[in-house]
Amino acid sequence: MRRPHLPHARLKGLAAAACCAVLGAGLLASAGTATAQPQLGSQEAAAGSKVVGYFTEWGVYDRNYHVKNVETSGSADRLTHINYAFGNVTGGKCAMGDSYAATDKAYTADQSVDGVADTWDQPLRGNFNQLLKLKKLHPNLKILWSFGGWTWSGGFGEAAKDPAAFAQSCYDLVENSKWAGLFDGIDIDWEYPNACGLSCDTSGSEAYKNVMAALRSKFGSDALVTSAIAADASDGGKLDAADYAGAAQYVDWYNPMTYDYFGAWDAQGPTAPHSPLTSYDGIPKAAYNAEATIAKLKAMGVPASKLLLGIGFYGRGWTGVTQAAPGGTATGPAAGTYEQGIDDYKELKSTCPATGTVGGTAYAYCGNNWWSYDTPQTIAGKMNYKNQQGLGGTFFWELSGDTSDGELIKAID
């Protein structure tokens, strides 16, 4: 079993619901070095312009990333939607994640979006209040509360036993009067329906569709209902384990997590980019790339307009590597700022600058470390693909990985 990235540390030992690894079975092959270019049709379809960024609840701690940073980086001007990650799923219900960060953490004037300090007796503080202030500055910005993630998806199996009760609990929480007007809908990040993530789920192939149907019925047609989904396009893989095509009628769009295809959970390698757009000679598993994922979902009957292309604002890396090209052996994960084998783009762009491209993404070889990540240049190529495929837009994990002036989101925009 391939390991996705580990949860980030959180205040008082809370486990972060770290988003989004796609993968399951182990693999073994030698990667090559050829750079593949997307094979695109000559006709460019109409593409959507959604730009959806995840904001992590726990980012206000070690990462020191706050809602104000969304504004000062210029990201708020470019975002159409923010997914607030993550709410928990427990006891068959939607639940708060870290209530202190969400509703109680006090902000001083210099930390606040609008320059106004929180007071001790105001009814709502924390991220939720700051996000309400951000919406006042950007009236067209929509915010969704995302539930689950890698750490907290184990509760969906219980929730699926009574989808209507689960949907009611989510509605009551999302629409709580204490933060009235904050959320425009709900995002479900179930990793993974009827398949294995951090734990294995045996809810059955229809459970996911039933849950999404119940959420749409409860939230109604005016609210947004979206979902982050697996990106494993292999035969018999995670996308074949649940009825994503049947559930598509209930969602406004899907966020297929087209990153984390490869990483240092395979400690000895082979080195391979974690977010390839296309396959390339020597890729360890041919179906692990964004183009294959999008093609599979479209072939299943999911409309292109309901598919967003996923971008990672971080890199994955190995150490003990002796060759610059992909496909090398390694001795383990490279050191990262917060955990091994992963680091933000804002760090890597200077500590280990890109030295090559493969499969429509970048890689970097420095010392004996090998990293892969997207750059403004490779994101531009991915945006061309998104446009030519007529996809609904782009989403990314996550806002704090970008530079202080929003280098990567500018490339999306």
Give the residue numbers annotated as catalytic, written as ranges: 191
Instruction: Give the pair of three-digit tokens for residue 43.
Output: 């006709």
- CA separation, residue 17 to residues 10, 167, 346 (Å): 10, 20, 22
Q: What is the rounded distance in angstroms from the CA atom of residue 410 to the CA atom of residue 73?
A: 10
Q: What is the rounded distance in angstroms from the CA atom of residue 324 to the CA atom of residue 395?
A: 30
Peptide bond into 398 cis (omega under 30): yes
Q: Centre a 10 Å sphere on the Cβ of residue 116 and count the other Cβ atoms it contains.
A: 11
CB 342 within 8 A of CB 243: no
Q: Tell me the helix, strand and coil percentages in the chain, rounded to 5.
A: 30, 20, 50
Give the pairing of strands 50-56 and 393-397.
Answer: parallel
Ramachandran bin of 340, using left for φ above 0, alpha for ψ from -120 to 50, beta for the remaining angles:
beta
Count each helix (H run) and each strand (E run) in the chain, helices first.
13, 15
One DSSP character per residue, 277-322 reads SS--TT-SSTT-SHHHHHHHHHHTT--GGGBEEEEESEEEEEES--
**Position 119, amino acid:** T
Count of alpha carbons within 13 Å of 241, Cβ hemisphere only? 23
